[in-house]
Structure formats: C-alpha cells, structure tokens
Amino acid sequence: MNFTTENFLLIGSLLLFISLIAGKTSFRLGVPTLIFFLFVGMLAGTSFSGLVVFNDAVTAQFIGVVALNFILFAGGFETNWISIKPIIRHGITLSTLGVVLTALFSGFITWLVTDFSFTESFLIGSIISSTDAAAVFSILRSKNLALKGNLRPTLELESGSNDPMAYLLTIIFLGLATSPSLTFWEVVKLFLSQIIIGVGMGVGFGYASKYIINNIKLEYEGLYPVLAITLMLLTFSLTDFIGGNGFMAVYLSAIFLGNSHLIHKKTILKMFDGLAWLMQIILFITLGLLVNAGEIIPHIGNGLLIAFGLMFVARPLSVFISLSPYRMKNRERWYIAWVGLRGAVPIVFATYPLIAGMAKAQEIFNIVFFITLTSVLIQGTSLIRVAKWFRVLLPQRVKQITPVDVMLRENISTEMVEVDIPDDSCVVGKRIVDLNFPEKSLIVLIQRNDRYISPTGSTVIEPNDKLIIVAEDKTSLRESFSCLSVDANAYQR
C-alpha cells in the first residue's frame, strides 16, 4: 500500500478503533488490555498480515519516550499523598532496592541459562526489572475489586515510580556492554547525577509549574491542559539535557502538582487520563508492529526459563528482601511479588541496544518481548484468583474509593450548604485556588447580587458573596468552613 496522509490516517484510526473494541472485550475476559493492543499491532505488522511494514527502532523509541512521559505524569498526578504517605517507605524501597535486586537476580538467571555474557545478561535483567501499573489495575478496576489495607497504594506507588531506576540500570549496563572501558567511578557518577538532578529538577519544576499554572491567566480553560503538557515535556527534556533522570523528574513534579491546589485541576486531570490511555494504545500498537513473531520462536525456550525465573525466583526474593524491615503479613508480600507484571516499558528499553548497535540486540529485544507476553498471559490473567487465594481482596460492600475516583465523578456531594461571605471576611479578595479547599469539597456556584457565577480556581471572592458548597462528607465540609474562616456551628443542620 502506498502511504499517503489519507491512508496513514485511515489505518491509524482503524487500529485505534480495533484496539478500543479489543480493550472492551478484555475487561470481560479478565485479560489486560496490553495484550490485545500488542496483538493488534502484530496482526497489522510483518508478523501476520504485512499491512504495515515498520522496523524503525529509533521511531519506536521516540514514541515510547513520549508515551511514557504522559503515562508517568498521569500516574503521578492521580497519586494522592494522603493515601501513599503511610507506605511511602515501602513503595520507594520496592522501586529502588527492589528494582536493583530484581535486575541482579534476573541477570544471574539469564547468565545461567543462556550464552549471553555477564554484562549482556545483567542488561536483560535491568530491562525487565520494572513493573507495569496499567496492566495490573485495568483488571482490578474492570472487576470493580479492591485490595485490603495499603496494598493498592503500595503497588501503585511502586509501579509508577520504578521505571526511572530500571531506565538508569539499563543505561549503565548498556554503557558497560558497548564501552568496556567504562570505569567504576564513571558509573557511580552517572548514577548519582541521574538521581540527584532528577529529584531536584522534579521538585523544582513542580513548584514552578504550580506557580505558572495558577498565575498565567490564560483566556480559555482549554489552554490549561496544553500548558500542563508543555511544562511536562519541558521538565523531561531539560532534566535529561543536563544529565538527570527525566522520567523521575516528570513523575515527582506530577505528584507535587496532583496534590496542590491548581486552577482547572479537574480539567487537567480528565485530559491526562484520556491522553494516558491514548498513549498506551499507540505505544503498544507500535511495539507490536516492530516485532516479528517468526524471530521470537527460536528464543521461546530461553524466554520461558528467564520468565519463570523472574516470576518465581527473582521477583519474590527482591520483594521479601526489600520489605523485610517493615511489618507486613507474608500473604501480602507474596501478592506484591506476584503483581510483578511486565509491560510496555521493558520493550521500550529493549530498543536501546538496537539503536546502540549491539551484536545481540535483536536477540535481546525478542527475548524481552516474549518475557513480557508470558508475564501478561500468566500473571495478568490470574491477579484476581491469586488475590482470593491470599485473602487480600476487600468485599464489595467495603470497597475503598480513592480521591481520584471522587474527582472524576460528576456528582460527588452528599453534603450541601450555602455560606455568606461578610464584608470583613479574611477571604475577600482571594482566589478560590488560594483557599486550600479539601479535595472532596467544591464551591459549585456563587450568588453575587442578582447573578449566579460558575466559579473556577481563578475566581476572586467578593464581599457579600453567597457560596454554594458541596462536599462528600461532613469532615470535608468542616474543613471547608475552616478554609473560609466561618463558624461551623452556624451551619449545623
């Protein structure tokens, strides 16, 4: 087929539509959408139909990096600090020490069962060392299930924050494989600069982005998500340019912004939620197009040995060692170990050896792709069953609702009240975004003289305004009264 602009749009839109339909089917079958998106790409590519011939690893890596920015930012923006605060040490330990141990154990297993060199084996271990949040929670949310205790925030924090460490290890071992003269101190310098600059830029851009979003005063509400995208890409590119870990910077800045009071925050949240899904679909289809199924078949034996070693040895060992300092039931540790689901990130990282021109790069890519498929098919389809075995599922009647679930609802209120703002109130002249309202409470309407105003974060409170406030519960309502410096007793019902 001759690829004109029209043909490209036609094929692209058809692949996206098929992927969406396949994703809807996957919810019912209990299979992660990831596997369907990959198969759509494989069916359209050289593996089967040959409709699309795509073998450009550089383009695939570019799409992967851009997509990961959106996925990481959306995950960080939806992360609620209150929910992760009790398990912050657990999550960070798993996403740092846990990733390092998984890479080392997986690399050692690879070295034992294949003819790869020591460095090449640990490069493969590094590539497959991170987990995939999207694949895990697409199943749990589709079945409307929740996990006991702090398991869900722990898994979300680990899955969202472990990609930077896996990326760093991949870069280090790729450097050792392609440049044997690389010294120990150069590796240490690279490691420290990536971490320190990444953290510093993430926090710095978080503060700067909050200030810019709340004070730039754009003409149209629809421009604020565009501004957020611009700041996200700027965070990644500048951090990477000066030698830091751009993925880490994007994730940290997103967590900061997601837990700050922002103008048009709900609009930004919904936009990134949709874009993250779009980027996942595009990424998975692209990676499916890149692979050739015929080239994977010779590596099935080694792929199975490494995949089983990862699932049943490397991941459990890394989880139990990482979480040993913390009080936790063994069945919870086992479940965390089983939710070591590989996703698109390892496949993206597997393109780096291809671009670097390593002798065994194609073999590494095919093995990593097969390990990902094996992990998704075995672990991804059994998450709910294993959760029941380990008794870590919450009954439906006590299912927990996350703050993000609340924000994405159209009607979140169970409490409503009208609050009069006197002339001498301390909130007069302040913008709504500066009131530090609780997440579960909203000012939905302002009566000003004979007019009714639908407020935004930039709306300024004026004397004698009547605020119509809705809140999910009485606690959030009392916090709202405190933010407005009014007497809660005057509004008791």
CATH of the domain at 97: 1.20.1530.20
* The domain boundary residue, chosen from 398, 433, 465: 398
**Of the candidates 288, 280, 306, 323, the residue with the CA atom closest to the CA atom of residue 66:** 280
137 has a pLDDT exceeding 60: no
We report the CATH number of the domain holding residue 437 as 3.30.70.1450
Residues 418 and 338 in one domain: no
Q: At residue 4, what is the residue type? A: T
Query: Do 258 and 390 fall into the same domain?
Result: yes
Residues 387 and 474 reside in one and the same domain: no
Same-domain check for residues 321 and 431: no
Q: Is 451 part of any domain?
A: yes
Examine the domain organization and report whether 101 and 61 are in the same domain. yes
Residue with the bigger pLDDT between 414 and 473: it is 473
Based on the fold, state whether residues 433 and 381 are members of the same structural domain.
Answer: no
Per-residue pLDDT, 66: 92
Q: Is residue 173 part of a domain?
A: yes
Rounded alpha-carbon distances, angstroms, from residue 392 to 15, 153, 329? 37, 14, 10
Question: Residues 300-358: pLDDT tens digits?
Answer: 999 999 999 999 999 999 999 999 999 889 999 999 999 888 877 888 899 999 998 88
Global pTM reads 0.77
pLDDT digits (tens, 9 = 90+) for 326-337: 988 999 999 999
**Residue 303 DSSP SS3:** helix
Task: Answer yes or no: do 382 and 473 share one domain.
Answer: no
Q: Are 331 and 391 in contact (CB under 8 A)?
A: yes
pLDDT-based confidence at residue 87 (cuts at 50, 70, 90): confident
Q: Which residues contact 100 (CB under 8 A, 6 or more apart)?
A: 129, 165, 169
Check residue 253 and give its pLDDT.
94
Q: What is the pLDDT of residues 369-386, one digit of tens each?
A: 999 889 888 887 788 788
Final residue of a structural domain among 371, 398, 425: 398
Contacts of 313 (CB under 8 A, 6+ apart): 105, 109
Structural domain containing residue 344: 15-398
In this structure, are 457 and 322 located in the same domain? no
Tens-digit pLDDT profile for residues 417-431: 888 888 888 888 888
Average of per-residue pLDDT across 143-159: 75
Confirm whether 417 is domain-assigned. yes
Any domain includes 139: yes
Closest by CA to 452, choosing from 441, 432, 434, 466, is 466
Q: How confident is the model at residue 407 (pLDDT cuts 50, 70, 90)?
A: very low
Percent helix, strand, coil in the chain (nearest 5)?
Answer: 70, 5, 25
User: Exposure of 466 by Cβ count < 10 A (0-12 exposed, 13-18 middle, 19+ buried)?
Assistant: middle
What is the reported pLDDT for 318?
96
3-state secondary structure of 454: coil
pLDDT > 50? residue 398: no
Q: Is 5 inside a domain boundary?
A: no
pLDDT at position 412 is 45
Percent pLDDT > 90 in the chain is 30
Rounded to whole angstroms, how far apart are CA atoms 218 and 225? Answer: 11
Assess if residue 8 is contained within a domain. no
Over the chain, what is the mean pLDDT?
83
- Report if residue 7 sits inside a domain: no
Q: Which of 341, 364, 398 is the last residue of a domain?
A: 398
* Domain assignment of residue 164, yes or no: yes
- Per-residue confidence at 180, pLDDT binned at 50, 70, 90? confident
Maximum Cα–Cα distance across the chain = 80
Instruction: Select from 84, 407, 81 the least CA-distant residue to 272.
Output: 407
Taking only Cα atoms into account, the Rg of the chain, rounded to an integer number of angstroms, comes to 24
* 424 lies in the same domain as 392: no
Give 181-226 as a DSSP string.
T--HHHHHHHHHHHHHHHHHHHHHHHHHHHHHHHHS--S-TTHHHH
Q: Is the dihedral of CA 222, 224, 226, 229 positive or negative?
A: negative
Confidence band of 408 (pLDDT split at 50, 70, 90): very low
> Apex CA 171: angle with CA 293 and CA 99, to 5°?
85
What angle (nearest 5°) sits at the alpha carbon of residue 351, between those of residues 301 and 203? 120
Phi-psi region of 431 (alpha: psi -120 to 50; beta: other; left: phi over 0): beta
Claim to verify: residue 201 and residue 88 sit in the same structural domain: yes
201 vs 466, residue with greater confidence: 201
Regarding whether 339 and 442 lie in a shared domain, the answer is no
Q: Kindly state whether residues 346 and 453 are assigned to the same domain.
A: no
Structural domains in the chain (count):
2
Integer Cα distance of 61 and 64 in angstroms: 5
Question: Does residue 364 register a pLDDT over 90?
Answer: yes
